[in-house]
Structure 1
C-alpha cells in the first residue's frame, strides 16, 4: 500500500529560544536581604524602648541600615537587568531578534 508523502514546507521552522524573564537567584537573595535590613530599621524604636539600644546607637544603626538596604536594592535590580540583557542577547544570536525584534517584520 502506498502512503502519500507529507507536503513539503517552504519555511524553515526553528523553535524560538525561551527568554527567561524571572529574576535570578542572586537578585532574589539581595532583595530578601534588603527587606530584612528594612525590617531591622523599623525595629529600632522597639530596641530603644526595651533599653537594648541607646538613642545615639539607634541613629548610627538607622543610617547604616538604610544605606545597606539601598545598596542591596540597587544590586538586586542590577542583577535582574543584567540577567534580562543576557537573555535578550542570546535570543538575538539565535535568530529571533532580527528586524522588528519578534514582531514578524524584517526577517
Structure 2
C-alpha cells in the first residue's frame, strides 16, 4: 500500500469524523468535554495530514529533480539535436 493511499484514507476518515461530530453531539453521545476533546483530536489529525502531504510533495519534487539531473530526461548526454 502506498503512502498516498494511506494518507488519502486518513483524510477521508478525518472528514467523516468531522461531519459526524455535530450529529454525535445532537444525539447526546458526546457531551461538552467529549466534543472538546474530539475537536482537538480532529485539529491535530488535520495538522498531521497537512504535514504528511507537504512531505510527500517535497519528496516527489526532490526525486524528480534528481532524475532530471542524472540524465533520465531532457537533452542530457547530448542525445538531442539542440
* TM-score for the superposition, normalised by structure 2: 0.71
**Deviation at residue 96 of structure 1 after TM alignment:** 4.0
1:44 corresponds, among 21, 25, 28, to 21
TM superposition outliers: structure 1 runs of 4+ over 6 Å: none
Q: Tell me, in whole angstroms, the C-alpha distance in 1 between the residues paired with 2:74 and 2:61.
A: 14
Higher RCO (CA-CA < 8 Å; seq separation 6+): 1
**RMSD (Å) for aligned C-alpha atoms:** 2.4
Q: Tell me, in whole angstroms, the C-alpha distance in 2 between the residues paired with 1:69 and 1:88.
A: 29
* TM-score for the superposition, normalised by structure 1: 0.57
1:5 corresponds to: none
Q: Give 3-state SS (helix, strand or coil) of 1:94's partner.
A: coil
Change (3 A) 1:95 1:75: closer
Quick check: which has more Rg, 1 or 2? 1
Unaligned ranges ≥5, structure 1: 1-24, 99-103
The structure where helix makes up a greater share of residues is: 2
